[in-house]
Amino acid sequence: MNTLHSEGRLDGAKLTVQPIWVRISHWLNALAVILMILSGWRIYDASPVFNGFTIPSRFTLGGWLGGALQWHFAAMWLLFLNGFFYLVMNFATDRIRSKFFPLSPSAVMRDLFEALKGHLSHADPSKYNAVQKFAYLFAMLDIAVLVLSGLAIWKSVQFALLRDLFGGYDFARVVHFSAMSLICAFIIVHVVMVALVPRSLLTMIRGR
């Protein structure tokens, strides 16, 4: 057993699927997104965008509107700075191209059907299938939309261009809420998939 263990360690460097910066960034992002969602729900409840639809306060963070705003505008720094670090590293190491491309709609559809039939292999965790590529790129884009629409709401006078881009102050709230709903949908699918393929969780914790 001891020999096996040390052998695994020796190979560890070569077998690393997720480099350390990806892992750190992933978990910081997960924390930031969860804090943003839970506090955002409380802020939403103060004046619901959709009449009659509110989120039970026991699922929210902050205790009251003022507390939720404090959480939201503190966690935004973690989300923003960590997201910035993640994107810079992705481009600097060329990971964005090697991991997420090439990608075509037909490949996504094919892998999606294969996955639904249970035929998709996860033998090589170092390579994302087309559905994964699409899902992770979608999450990146959606978080970008969340940040930008959030800035449009937060500073609708100072960031006039962003405000107009999102169709004015009130519509920016609709965009912000919709993008939040989409990231929630992503999280649900993501967590279910991780439960089905637990090895992917290990690669995001110990790197291989």
Partner 1 sequence: MKPITPKRPNIDRESLIIDVRRELDMPSRRLFSQRILTLGGLAMLTGCSLSDNKSVETFLTRVSRVNDSVQGWLFDPTRLAPTYTEAEITRPFPFNAFYGVNDAPKVDGSDFRLKVSGLVQSKRAWTLPELYALPTAEQITRHICVEGWSAIGRWGGTPFSEFLKRVGADTSAKYVGFKCADDYYESIDMPTALHPQTLLTFTYDGQQLPREYGYPMKLRMPTKLGYKNPKHIMDIFVTNTYPGGYWVDQGYNWFGGS
| Chain residues that interact with partner 1, rule: CB under 8 A | 1, 5, 34-35, 38, 43-44, 46-47, 49, 58-67, 69-71, 73-74, 77, 154-158, 160, 169-170, 173, 198-199, 201-202, 205
Least distance to partner 1, CB of residue 208, Å: 12
Of 127 and 206, which CB lies nearer to partner 1 in the complex structure?
206
Of 62 and 130, which CB lies nearer to partner 1 in the complex structure?
62
Least distance to partner 1, CB of residue 88, Å: 21
Pair of tokens at residue 127: 């390579």
Of 89 and 204, which CB lies nearer to partner 1 in the complex structure?
204
Least distance to partner 1, CB of residue 133, Å: 25
Q: Contact 72/61 with Cβ under 8 angstroms?
A: no
Enumerate long-range contacts of 19-26, CB under 8 Å, 24 or more apart: 19/93, 19/207, 20/207, 21/85, 21/89, 22/86, 22/89, 22/95, 22/204, 23/204, 23/205, 23/207, 25/82, 25/85, 25/86, 25/89, 26/204
Q: Cα–chain-centroid distance for residue 55?
A: 21
Least distance to partner 1, CB of residue 67, Å: 5
Of 88 and 160, which CB lies nearer to partner 1 in the complex structure?
160
Least distance to partner 1, CB of residue 202, Å: 6
102: which DSSP letter?
Answer: S
Of 130 and 183, which CB lies nearer to partner 1 in the complex structure?
183
Round to whole Å and give the CA distance between 131 and 107: 8
Round to whole Å and give the CA distance between 125 and 17: 7
